[in-house]
Amino acid sequence: MAYESLQDFYPPTVLSSPGDGIVRSTTNIRRAQFSLKIDSYSVLCEKLEKYESNVFEADGYKWNLCFYPKGNSKSGGDGYISLYLKIAETSRFQCGWEILAEFKFSVFDQLRDNYLTIQEAGTVRRFQEIKTEWGMAKLLLLGIFKDVSNGYLVDDCCVFGVQISVVRQIGRMECFKLIKEPVNNIYTWEIENFSTLNQNSYYSEAFTVEGTTCHTLDQHSIGMGMDPLHFIGGSQRQVERLSCG
């Protein structure tokens, strides 16, 4: 079949606006290194403002996809769906780490069996400790996304993908930090997204108690007959708040 123009490949309503810096195109080849399938979009909208995928590996690094089913309102995404790429497991990186990467998102068109790809033209993003997440608050208008004739949301199901190309890892830096002793010799370690942890062990930040530098170790072994938390440099304690001294 011959096409008269590129516009015939996908609905005109999702074409890039002049000067918006976003490039949208379609392809029938799946190039995503990771795909996220959501089988119950309407339920997700009711329950969560943001959904973060499990950790996946691409181009030598660990990542998450972060999806806002009703848009990231804090970044002007009201009336859109928002999608972000987040670098994960950064605690193993050296102080002052920076990762430069290009990425493009895709939305699967279930009716035409092709992919709408969306990326910022010629943009390399800098992932670092103070900015671990980059993406698009205005990925697609909600009206376009929900229109069944466009094929992106069919039977309450949608599929997103991401293709990542790491440009390089930059330099090294020396970091200096004075460690404060916890009040009343009690240190609290808050672990986020516990259910998604997939390593055998995790260490908290260092803290000092009466001149001794300490860490807590989470063996991530609850339900396996092992103590989940250990205090490095003292006795074992199976408690959420570790007290030294």
Average pLDDT over residues 54-71: 96
At 196, list the tokens: 């998604």
On the question of pLDDT at 3 being above 50, the answer is no
Residues of the chain above pLDDT 70, percent = 67
Mean pLDDT, the chain, whole residue set: 78
Question: How far apart (Å, rounded) are the C-alpha atoms in residues 57 and 16?
Answer: 30
Question: What pLDDT shows up at residue 210?
Answer: 63
At 63, list the tokens: 């990542």
Average pLDDT over residues 119-142: 91
- Residue 180: pLDDT band by 50, 70, 90 thresholds? low
- Higher-confidence residue of 245 and 228: namely 228
Closest CA to 43 of 187, 156, 152: 156
pLDDT tens for 31-52 read: 999 999 999 999 999 999 999 9
On the question of pLDDT at 154 being above 70, the answer is yes
Number of Cβ within 10 Å of residue 83's Cβ equals 25
Question: What pLDDT shows up at residue 201?
Answer: 72
Q: Locate tokens 């990467």: which residue?
A: 101
Domain ranges of the chain: 6-170, 183-243
Average pLDDT over residues 92-110: 92
Query: Measured over all CA atoms, what is the biggest interatomic distance in the chain, rounded to whole angstroms?
Result: 78
- Residue 189: pLDDT band by 50, 70, 90 thresholds? confident
Whether the pTM exceeds 0.85: the reply is no
Strands 34-38 and 51-52: unpaired
As to burial, measured by CB atoms within 10 angstroms (0-12 exposed, 13-18 middle, 19+ buried), residue 122 is: exposed
Q: How is domain 6-170 classified at the architecture level of CATH?
A: Sandwich (2.60)
Strands 80-87 and 133-141: antiparallel
At 78, list the tokens: 């009201």
SS3 of the chain: CCCCCHHHHCCHHHCCCCCCCEEEEEECCCCCCEEEEECCHHHHHHHCCCEECCCEEECCEEEEEEEECCCCHHHCCCCEEEEEEEECCHHHCCCCCEEEEEEEEEEEECCCCEEEEEEECCCCEEEECCECEEEEEEEEEHHHHHCHHHCCCECCEEEEEEEEEEEEEECCCCCCCCCCCCHHHEEECCCCCHHHCCCCCEECCCEEECCEEEEEEECCCCCCCCCCEEEECCCCCCCCEEECC
